[in-house]
Amino acid sequence: MSNQAFIETQFPIARLSAESYKERKAVSGQTLTGLGKWWGRKPLVLVRASILAMLMPASGNPKKDREVFLKLLTMDPDGLWRRRKGTIPDRELLARASAFEDAWKNAGRDEKDELREEIWDSLDDNLRADMEALRRFPLSRQEFDALSYEEKLKLCVRPEHLDGPDADAWVDINSHLGTSATTIAELTEQLGIRHFGHRPRIGDSFCGGGSIPFESARMGCEAFGSDLNPVAGLLTWANLNLLGAGKAVQEDVRQAQKAAFALADKQITEWRIEHNDSGERAESFLYCVEVKPPGCSYYIPLAPSWLVDEYFRTVVHWRHVPGSEHLAPEVVVLSKTELEQFKKHKGATVIDSRIIDPFDASRSWSVEALRGPNGLRRWTNDDVVPRSEDVFQERLYCIRWIDSEKRRRYAAPEAGDLEREARVRALLGERFSEWQRAGILPSRVIPENGDKTEEPIRTRGWTHWHHLFTARQLLTHGLLASLSYQGQSRHVRVAAMLNMGRLADWDSRLCCWLSSPTQIAGGKNTFLNQALNPLFNYSTRSLPMLASAQITLSKRIGPGLTGAAAITDARDLEYDCDIWITDPPYADAVNYHELGDFFLAWYDKQLRKYFPQWSPDARTELAVRGNGDDFRRSMVDVYKNITRHMPDNGMQLVMFTHQDPAVWADLGMILWAAGLRVTSAWTVATETPAGGIKKGNYVQGTVLLVLRKRLSPQDGFLDEIYPLVEDEVRRQIDSMRALDDGGEPNFGDTDYQLAAYAAALRVLTQYQTLDGQDVGHELFRVRAASGGRGRRATGTEKSRFEQVIERGIQIACDYLVPRGLETVWQGLTADDRLYLRALDVESRGEHRQGVYQELARGFGVREVKPLLHADKANSTRVRTPSEFGRKDLEGDGFGGTKLRQLLFAVHNTVAEEKPEAGMRFLKDELRDYWSDRHKLIAILEWFASLGQVEAMSHWIADSHASRLLAGRLRSDHG
């Protein structure tokens, strides 16, 4: 048995991409999201696979290794069959879950899929067991086996919904691994003891929403998660200690939550702030900003759309009120035809940051100008609504009511409603200071000069976090918080803190109101994006509508998860782990420290009470971010530190979601400088829209770099290293191809490129110095020379280290010959190869611009743009011969190559509808026509085959012409 881990030899990335996508798509059905929002959470299935693949040794039999590995994840044929979910008729499900009736009625088709899972989870175990008898699966095993992996997944539950492999699978697994496990926890323990002498300790120094520690603990490992941000720390703590504490604790939390909600409901009913005199209760209150621009005699209510609810065909019209400078809203239900008409303009009173007069569209004002040269008045702590002198006012313009028969209607506010609004403000006023003092309401100031926090301050004058909430939201959330924090146990109180975070996300002035033709309109969450953008119109929920926004605990987890959560700068960690899995904030745009404060403001004082050792502060200055030199230094320090806290036979896995493949080399350098050696790299498409990695239309991939300590550092010399890199790249590509042969393809073009980086890094990172230069020194020396900013773009700025890495990619590019062009490849120029490879990549459905740019880099060609027909970010494709026409038909680059002449000949054949024109051109222009004739034919035949590819319908004419021309050339005997 080798000393390599499974992940250092192979990883089933196509299946994992599909599984990660399935998990992502579950949205609220994901295990951890119910506890609170964090950005960039990693899919649990990916974490599970990574841990198993690091613990599982590679044998000399890769096929068997793969088989066993898939069994462990229930991603093998039998495991998938066990995961088939079948269906229980909706009416049976709903009959046992009346609490979901409303949500069901309001849900669209996709949402119903999630809801089914949620309802199922909400049922108690006995009921679920009884209901299993009602489950029906429509396919036989044979029919199921014949489906593609993605099709199967649609009919399956996720691996985490099963208790791991079944008894038969364990026999096979144990016999291959020499273990005697019956559960995943037993297996991790046995493998851990074998490698490290104890249950494996798995740590994450950038734990964020806590996926990595949670999954490690769930797999029976000793988990450790730490993050700089206390919100992340709290989420991670809660994953382990609320979700992981088992049913009794969860039930406690649920009961406490229910009791607080019932008390809040009673109080709100007594206050009569959500009920009207007709026996209806409000569901949603819709507010908008209004302004009185210079020269206008009335306030203009602002919204990009006054379509309130397309499902109910309800819109708002505005009319003048004699003697008032405020317009009055009129809620109108339109006919279908009127609605279609209305949808064309939506009555918008703000378009592209300009305010439009609703009665005279020719009059408009810039929003920016209205803020004035000195900006807006800054709100003070006591402000909860705008003051009368403020530029931006706020008004209630519509309420959705529901009666006891569950009939809904929208209405403009009446006098009674405005009185209720005043009562809300008065009630809040009575409690405000006390609640702030007790940490029930936020009192923190929004940091100025943040990338994201600057926006609410500048565009609304909001200076405190509570300004991002309406008076009604502050009163309702405050009431719930004050009742929830009365719970006795720490668990209940922590759950209450997280609950306040959830409510803040789902009910703030930043929650937009979204209408749809297929379901009842509703308020969305604050963090639909990763920003803090104030809106012109927004919604506020009544208490019953907050029920579904509360935290949810999944019943399936625990008990007995062991692990620790901490708040530490990753550079200062003092904790030993056998394996570190990290997902650093690498070159990403998420300002965790700023956005996290939105939540922290709701429970900072509670946090101080229950986690006295934690600093309730985002410590912005310590956050690792950006991609400049400071960032690199911090990252080298972080990775040096965690490497120090790892045994010599320990491993690391660094995950990062890349937008730009060029950052891979950069990260590799950082890890190298930290004393680590890359042993393998994989890309998993974690955000695939459909069909897995193969279709190439995924949004983003997550790169996994596997690393070990560099134990016996060597001194390397570039001239010796180049050939080693070449061999390693070829070896890597050959082994990937071998895995692809005969089965489902595992790898896409970017995977091969990444593998080339990894192969180069694998060779390079064994050395401590190259030509006498220390790698750490080199990393920063070159940066300093280039002004220390970001990635270098030009050749002159490249370090020798990067040159080696680039050489690796060039080798990979040359080595990856499109099938059918093997015989002609040698004689082609770099430009020709780039064109043909780009076309090959396009024919497999790849349209991301970055991939084409990266290919050009690989072939050492400066510009790919002249070869492209469309170069938009996600719809890039190569020009066809007809699209080239006469363009750039000469010159030093592609214009002067034989391939370019051949494309022109194809174009002529298309234009003249016969091959003679093309052939004549070739014979006149190509000096070596006769010796090149067979190569030209091979390329033409390859073009001819493109027209049959589904994604290449724009090639049909050129492909047909290529076939004719190939035939003509073949029969040309002089």
Ligand X SMILES: C[S@@+](CC[C@H](N)C(=O)[O-])C[C@H]1O[C@@H](n2cnc3c(N)ncnc32)[C@H](O)[C@@H]1O
Exposed (0-12), middle (13-18) or buried (19+): which is 159, by Cβ within 10 Å? Answer: buried
Nearest partner of 48 among 218, 169, 173, judged by Cα: 218
For Cα atoms 922, 924, 930, give the angle at the middle one, nearest 5 degrees: 60
Q: Report in angstroms how near the CB of residue 233 gets to ligand X at its nearest.
A: 9
Q: Report in angstroms how near the CB of residue 631 gets to ligand X at its nearest.
A: 10
Q: Report in angstroms how near the CB of residue 554 gets to ligand X at its nearest.
A: 16
CA distance 103 to 639: 47
CA distance 17 to 28: 19
Interface region with ligand X, contact rule CB under 6 A, candidates 157-165, 203-211, 375-383, 961-969: 203-211
Interface region with ligand X, contact rule CB under 6 A, candidates 38-46, 302-310, 338-346, 553-561: 38-46
Q: Name 539's bridge partners.
A: 286
Q: Toward ligand X, which CB reaches closer, 298 or 592?
A: 592
Residue 851 corresponds to which tokens in the numbers above? 């991939």
Q: Report in angstroms how near the CB of residue 626 gets to ligand X at its nearest.
A: 11
Q: Toward ligand X, which CB reaches closer, 624 or 828?
A: 624
Interface region with ligand X, contact rule CB under 6 A, candidates 183-191, 208-216, 455-463, 642-650: 208-216
Q: Toward ligand X, which CB reaches closer, 21 or 392?
A: 21
Q: Name 716's bridge partners.
A: 770
632 binds ligand X (CB under 6 A): no
Interface region with ligand X, contact rule CB under 6 A, candidates 66-74, 247-255, 258-266, 618-626: 618-626
Q: Toward ligand X, which CB reaches closer, 184 or 232?
A: 232
Q: Answer for the pair 213, 223: CB distance below 8 angstroms, yes or no.
A: yes
| Binder among 190, 211, 284, 732 for ligand X (CB under 6 A) | 211
| Binder among 15, 22, 37, 41 for ligand X (CB under 6 A) | 41
| Binder among 68, 624, 878, 910 for ligand X (CB under 6 A) | 624
Q: Toward ligand X, which CB reaches closer, 214 or 942?
A: 214
209 binds ligand X (CB under 6 A): yes
Q: Kindly list the distances between the CA atom of residue 438 and the CA atoms of 434, 485, 730, in Å, as whole numbers in the listed order.
A: 6, 10, 65
CA distance 481 to 484: 5
Angle of helix 44-55 relative to helix 13-25, nearest 10 degrees, comes to 150
Q: Report in angstroms how near the CB of residue 552 gets to ligand X at its nearest.
A: 18
Q: Report in angstroms how near the CB of residue 664 gets to ligand X at its nearest.
A: 16
824 binds ligand X (CB under 6 A): no
48 binds ligand X (CB under 6 A): no
CA distance 613 to 782: 41
CA distance 553 to 491: 12
- E-only strand ranges, 458-590: 513-514, 522-523, 537-541, 563-567, 579-582
CA distance 840 to 850: 16
830: left (phi over 0), alpha (psi -120 to 50) or beta: alpha
Interface region with ligand X, contact rule CB under 6 A, candidates 96-104, 201-209, 907-915, 949-957: 201-209
658 binds ligand X (CB under 6 A): no
Q: Report in angstroms how near the CB of residue 636 gets to ligand X at its nearest.
A: 13
616 binds ligand X (CB under 6 A): no
Q: Report in angstroms how near the CB of residue 570 gets to ligand X at its nearest.
A: 4
Q: Toward ligand X, which CB reaches closer, 31 or 229?
A: 229
Interface size with ligand X, residues (CB under 6 A)? 23
Q: Report in angstroms how near the CB of residue 214 gets to ligand X at its nearest.
A: 9
Residue 474 corresponds to which tokens in the numbers above? 């502050």
Q: Name 289's bridge partners.
A: 302, 394
**Per-state percent for the chain, helix, strand, coil, to nearest 5:** 50, 15, 35
Q: Toward ligand X, which CB reaches closer, 473 or 582?
A: 582
| Binder among 222, 310, 505, 583 for ligand X (CB under 6 A) | 583
CA distance 139 to 164: 23
Q: Report in angstroms how near the CB of residue 43 gets to ligand X at its nearest.
A: 9
| Binder among 394, 569, 751, 778 for ligand X (CB under 6 A) | 569
38 binds ligand X (CB under 6 A): yes
CA atoms within 13 A on the CB side of 427: 21
Q: What are phi and psi of 5, to 5 degrees?
A: -85, 160
Binding mask 584-603 for ligand X (x = CB under 6 A): -x------x-----------
Tell me the three state secondary structure of residue 911: helix
| Cα 763–chain centre separation | 32
Match 């997902």 to its residue by tokens. 583
Q: Report in angstroms how near the CB of residue 754 gets to ligand X at its nearest.
A: 19
Q: Report in angstroms how near the CB of residue 777 gets to ligand X at its nearest.
A: 23
CA distance 257 to 255: 5
Tell me the residue nearest to ligand X as measured from the CB.
Answer: 208
Binding mask 219-248 for ligand X (x = CB under 6 A): --------xxx--x----------------
Nearest partner of 36 among 547, 550, 457, 440, judged by Cα: 550
Q: Report in angstroms how near the CB of residue 263 gets to ligand X at its nearest.
A: 34
| Binder among 208, 456, 523, 881 for ligand X (CB under 6 A) | 208
List, as one string, the DSSP characters of 413-439.
--HHHHHHHHHHHHHHHHHHHHHHHTT
Q: Report in angstroms how near the CB of residue 620 gets to ligand X at its nearest.
A: 10
Q: Report in angstroms how near the CB of residue 939 gets to ligand X at its nearest.
A: 45
Q: Toward ligand X, which CB reaches closer, 34 or 696?
A: 34
Q: Answer for the pair 211, 96: CB distance below 8 angstroms, yes or no.
A: no
42 binds ligand X (CB under 6 A): yes
List, as one string, the DSSP characters of 725-756.
HHHHHHHHHHHHHHHHTTSS----HHHHHHHH
Q: Toward ligand X, which CB reaches closer, 622 or 718?
A: 622
Interface region with ligand X, contact rule CB under 6 A, candidates 115-123, 341-349, 520-528, 616-624: 616-624
212 binds ligand X (CB under 6 A): yes
Match 């930290």 to its residue by tokens. 674
Residues 740-799 that bind ligand X (CB under 6 A): none
| Binder among 51, 256, 570, 910 for ligand X (CB under 6 A) | 570
Question: What residues line the site for ligand X (CB under 6 A)?
Answer: 38, 40-42, 205-209, 211-212, 227-229, 232, 569-570, 583, 585, 592, 622-624
